[in-house]
């Protein structure tokens, strides 16, 4: 006979738990469905982020320029030391040859000095420490051996110096590669952001930059501020001749420039050598802390870490190489955080 037992009913507690869980799941699904998708940044927000990345790239560029300068200086110093070592070795060889000739002459006469014999088969540094052997040498031979000792010491010191400089050079080259990579990474990030815009938005940004460059080069009132000096004016005029030249990181002319590349190149055209980087240029002359005291041709240093530099052009304007994607142009001095001027 079949069983007609009623199926077991779920407990009230279990029903309540399941119902609560289901309700929570439904609520989460509804919230997810109704949540507003993350908004894509607009053109102005993207441009602000791109400009910030370009500024960071410029900071890295100045560090890159500093490493390049140090590398070039070290290479020159190493070359000089190596030349000194080569000349010193030649002098040492000549001194040794002169002692050898003296020994040969004594050998031919059958009276080779035992002290020379010792010298020719051992280190003269140890040799002259033995006073008894010194008595057996002529004054001329003693003088020659002393010169050999001194030359050996000089060569050892110069070789050690060259070795240290080569280590510094290796470290500088590593820093150079690091900073170059940092610049490229910032520029790549900026380009990625720009690529996220529509073609029309990218064109609008490019057009704005083009308008800024055109107005800066063609319709800028520079007032009547006098030059800081004849050479400052010559440098400023050299920079003016490069208006419209593209910005390119780690370059100093004659066709492309970064900020300190433009200023160092322009002063070179005026016959004045100034340091390559903006941080070094900040210490290249007399500082001027009031904008009202600036004169045409003075360097103008921006940002607290002094990573940007341009020329004061008069009437509150600067002439500079702004950043990647722009050209050498005039701009208001108030567009960046002014630190001080430098009169060369």
Q: Catalytic residues, which ones?
A: 259, 308, 320
Q: Give me the DSSP letters along 79-96.
A: HHHHHHHHHHHHHHHHHH
Q: How distant is the alpha carbon of residue 204 from its chain centre?
A: 33
Tell me the C-alpha distance between 310 and 50, whole Å: 21
Q: What is the 3-state secondary structure (H, E, C) of 182-193?
A: HHHHHHHHHHHH
Yes or no: say if 174 and 74 are a contact pair by the CB < 8 Å rule: no
Classify 228 as helix, strand or coil: coil
Beta strands across the sheet bearing 308-314: 286-288, 338-343, 299-302, 308-314, 317-320, 329-332
| CA nearest to 51, candidates 212, 180, 179 | 212
CA angle centred on 21, ends 15 and 25, rounded to 5°: 140
Yes or no: say if 187 and 324 are a contact pair by the CB < 8 Å rule: yes
For 114, the enclosing helix (H) or strand (E) is: helix 114-121
Both tokens of 26, joined, read: 């439904």
Alpha helices by DSSP H, 35-113: 43-108
Environment class of 66 (CB within 10 Å of its CB; exposed 0-12, middle 13-18, buried 19+):
buried
Contacting residues for 154 by C-beta, under 8 A, at least 6 apart: 88
């Amino acid at each position: 006979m079949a069983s007609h037992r009623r199926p077991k009913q779920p407990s009230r507690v279990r029903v309540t738990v399941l119902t609560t869980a289901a309700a929570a799941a439904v609520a989460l699904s509804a919230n997810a469905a109704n949540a507003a998708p993350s908004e894509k940044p607009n053109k102005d927000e993207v441009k602000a982020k791109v400009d910030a990345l370009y500024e960071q790239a410029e900071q890295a560029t100045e560090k890159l320029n500093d490493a390049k300068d140090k590398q070039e200086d070290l290479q020159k110093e190493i070359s000089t030391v190596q030349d000194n070592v080569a000349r010193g070795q030649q002098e040492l060889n000549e001194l040794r040859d002169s002692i050898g000739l003296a020994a040969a002459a004594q050998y031919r006469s059958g009276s080779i000095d035992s002290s020379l014999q010792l010298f020719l088969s051992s280190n003269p540094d140890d040799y002259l420490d033995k006073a008894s052997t010194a008595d057996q040498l002529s004054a001329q031979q003693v003088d020659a051996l002393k010169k050999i000792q001194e030359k050996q010491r000089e060569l050892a010191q110069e070789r050690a110096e060259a070795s240290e400089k080569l280590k510094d050079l290796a470290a500088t080259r590593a820093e150079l590669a690091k900073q170059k990579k940092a610049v490229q990474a910032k520029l790549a990030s900026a380009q990625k952001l720009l690529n996220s815009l529509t073609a029309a938005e990218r064109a609008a940004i490019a057009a704005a930059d083009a308008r800024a460059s055109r107005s800066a080069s063609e319709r800028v009132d520079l007032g009547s501020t006098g030059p800081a000096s004849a050479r400052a004016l010559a440098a400023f005029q050299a920079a003016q001749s490069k208006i419209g030249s593209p910005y390119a990181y780690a370059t100093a002319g004659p066709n492309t420039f970064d900020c300190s590349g433009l200023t160092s190149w322009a002063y070179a055209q005026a016959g004045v050598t100034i340091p390559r980087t903006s941080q070094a240029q900040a210490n290249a002359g007399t500082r001027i802390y009031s904008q009202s005291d600036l004169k045409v041709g003075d360097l103008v240093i921006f940002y607290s870490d002094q990573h940007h530099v341009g020329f004061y052009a008069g009437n509150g304007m600067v002439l500079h190489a702004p950043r990647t994607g722009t050209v050498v142009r005039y701009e208001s001095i108030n567009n960046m955080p002014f630190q001080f001027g430098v009169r060369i």
